[in-house]
Amino acid sequence: MVSTKAELLAVLRRYNPWWAGTRSTDLPSWRRAAFRQVAAWVREPPASRALLLSGARQVGKTTLFLQAIDQLLDEEVPPGNILYATFDHPLLKLAGIDAIVRLWREYEPADDGPEYLFLDEVQAARDWQTWLKHQVDFEKRRRIAVTGSATPLATEGQESGVGRWHTIPLPTLSFFEYLQIREAPSVNVPAVASLRELFAWDERQFMHVAAAAGPLTLQFHEYLLRGGFPQTARLDSVTLAQKLLREDIVDKVLKRDMTALFGVRRIMELEQVFLYLCLHDGAPLNLADLCAALEVKRPTVASFIDLIENIHLIHRLLPFGYGKQVLRGRPKVYLADPAIAPSVLLKGKSLLEDDIGLGRAVETAFFKHVLTRYYARSIGFSYWRGKGDREVDIIADLGNRRVPFEVNYRGPNHTRPADLKGLAEFCADHKVDVAYVITRELTDFRVMPLGAHGATARALKVPAALACYWLGRSELESAGEPRA
C-alpha cells in the first residue's frame, strides 16, 4: 500500500461524516429529475444490478449521490453501512477499490441490512470492471452505485458487464431545473404533461399563457449563456460562468481526461476538432471539409469525434431512413449544452445579437430537452433532408407514429406555412398528422394548418422558452411514462 492506513482512513472519514454522526450541510434542498430514478434503484435495484450514473464532468453526479445518502440516513439506514469514495482523490485512486472496502469494513463494522457503496469517477480505479462483476455476482447484500464521466465505463468492460449494471444518464440542467437553482420567481404558467395537450387549446388560452410567460424569454436567453452546469448556473456573472465552463472543458476534459483515460497525445489537433464542432453546432457533419480545414487525416478525426462523444460533450443525430440512407448520410452533431459553443468561442453576450448563433444554441437546447424527456422510452431520434435542402430538424420515432420538430427561432413572419415547406413535405410523405414548430416570440404561439405539398397535418407553434420549460418541468414532476 502506497499510503498508510491512517492516511487513507482520514480521507474516508472526511468523505463519510455520517460515520461520526454528522451530516452534509451544504446539499441543495431541491432535487433533479434523475434523483427519482436513483432513489428507486436504492430502494430496489432491478435484477440485482449495480447503478451507473453517467454524464459529463460538473453536471451534478456527486450531489445526486450525496442526496441519496442523505435520504438513506433519514430512513435510519445504519451509517456504517454506507460508503462514499471518489477516485478523483489521488490517495484513493492509488489505493484501489479493494483496499478502500477492506479498510471501511475493518474500522466500520457492518450492521444488519444492505450495504451501500457509492463510488465516484470509478473509471480512474484499477480493474474496476473485474471488481464490479465479482461484487454483483457474489456480494448480494451490497448495493453498488458508480459514476463515470466517460463512456469507457460502459464499453471497456462490456463482455463482463452485460446485465450487471443499470445506466442512468445525467444531462446538464434543464431550463426548468436552471430556474430552480437560480431561485427565479415562479411564473403563472399551467403544468403540461405533454405538448400534444396544447392542440386542444383555444386562442384565448394561448394568449393568456403567452402574457403570463413574459419573464421566461429573458431567463431562457441567460440559460443559453450560462449553461446547464450547476456550478456555472449559480453565478451571477455571465462572463465568469463562461470562463469557468471554457476552462473546465478545454483544460480539464480535453487536455487532462483525454490523456489520462484514452492516452491521447495529439491534444492540439483534438482541441481543433472540438472547436470546429463548436462552430458547426447542430449542423450535418462533413468529415471531408473538416479534414481539409484542419489538415488532419480522416481516421484521426473520426477517432477524436468518437472520443468527444464518449466523454458526453456531443450527441450525434443520424439522418432519417433505413440502411444505406443512414450509412451514407451525414450525422448532425449537437453539443451537450447550448452554452458550450459561446463559452469556448469567447462569444459572451454577443451571442444574443447573432441570429445564426442564437438559433443554433436554441436548437441545441431544445434537442437536449426532447432527448432527456423521452430517453427512458428508447425513442429513436433522427433528422430529415429532402430535395432542395429542405429539412426537418428533429424527428422522434415512437414506433407507431413519428413526431417532427422544426426549430425556427425567428420572428412570426418567418414561421408561416410558406416558410415550413420541408416540414409540410415530410408530413405529407409520411402521413404525419401533427408537427411542432419551435418559435422565438411568445406571441407566436398557436395551432395552424401546414396546408402545402398535400399535407393535412396541423403544426403547433410553441415558443422555445415555453417548450423547454414544459419539457423540463414534466420530466421533474412526472410519475408515469412521458408522452409526446
pLDDT in tens, 184-218: 998 999 999 889 999 999 999 999 999 999 999 99
Please give the sequence-ordered ranges of beta strands (E in DSSP) within 77-216, or none if there are none: 82-86, 115-120, 142-148, 165-169
The whole-number pLDDT of residue 159 equals: 43
The whole-number pLDDT of residue 160 equals: 45
Residues 449 and 350 in one domain: yes
Residues 181 and 36 in one domain: no
Q: Is residue 416 one of the residues assigned to a domain?
A: yes
**Considering only CA atoms, which of 263, 234, 232, 260 is closest in space to residue 246?**
232
Residues 180 and 153 in one domain: no
Q: How many domains does the chain have?
A: 2
Half-sphere exposure of 372 (CA within 13 A, CB side): 31
Residues 145 and 187 in one domain: no
**Average pLDDT in the 304-314 region?**
92
Place of cell 457533419: 285
19, 21, 102, 106, 149 from 12: Cα distances, Å:
10, 14, 12, 12, 22
**Please, which residues have CB within 8 angstroms of residue 272's CB and are 6 or more apart in sequence?**
294, 296
Residues 360 and 271 in one domain: yes
- pLDDT tens-digit series, residues 169-182: 899 999 999 999 99
**Average pLDDT in the 65-93 region?**
94
Residues 162 and 192 in one domain: no
Q: Which domain holds residue 405?
A: 176-477
- pLDDT tens-digit series, residues 216-267: 999 999 999 999 999 999 999 999 999 999 998 887 888 888 887 778 888 9
Q: Is residue 262 one of the residues assigned to a domain?
A: yes
- Is 325's pLDDT higher than 70? no
Q: Bridge partners of 147? A: 53
The whole-number pLDDT of residue 95 equals: 93
Residues 329 and 185 in one domain: yes
* Separation of alpha carbons 296 and 302, rounded Å: 10
Q: Is residue 482 one of the residues assigned to a domain?
A: no
* Separation of alpha carbons 70 and 212, rounded Å: 37
**Average pLDDT in the 119-144 region?**
89
- Is 440's pLDDT higher than 50? yes
Place of cell 453536471: 59
In whole numbers, what is the pLDDT of the chain averaged over residues?
88
Residues 163 and 192 in one domain: no
15, 116, 362, 456, 469 from 58: Cα distances, Å:
18, 23, 22, 45, 22
Which of residues 143, 170, 197 is at a domain's end? 170
Residues 276 and 294 in one domain: yes
Could you give the percent of the chain with pLDDT greater than 70? 92
Residues 52 and 136 in one domain: yes
**Is the pTM value of this prediction over 0.85?**
yes
Residues 395 and 293 in one domain: yes
The whole-number pLDDT of residue 376 equals: 63
Residues 126 and 58 in one domain: yes
- Is 115's pLDDT higher than 60? yes
Could you give the percent of the chain with pLDDT greater than 90? 65
- Is 472's pLDDT higher than 50? yes
Q: Is residue 268 one of the residues assigned to a domain?
A: yes
* Separation of alpha carbons 435 and 274, rounded Å: 33
Which of residues 170, 196, 226 is at a domain's end? 170
Q: Is residue 483 one of the residues assigned to a domain?
A: no
The whole-number pLDDT of residue 157 equals: 44
- pLDDT tens-digit series, residues 362-375: 999 999 999 998 87
**Average pLDDT in the 84-110 region?**
93
Q: Is residue 484 one of the residues assigned to a domain?
A: no
| Range from 32-46, 284-298, 432-446, 447-461 carrying the lowest mean pLDDT | 447-461
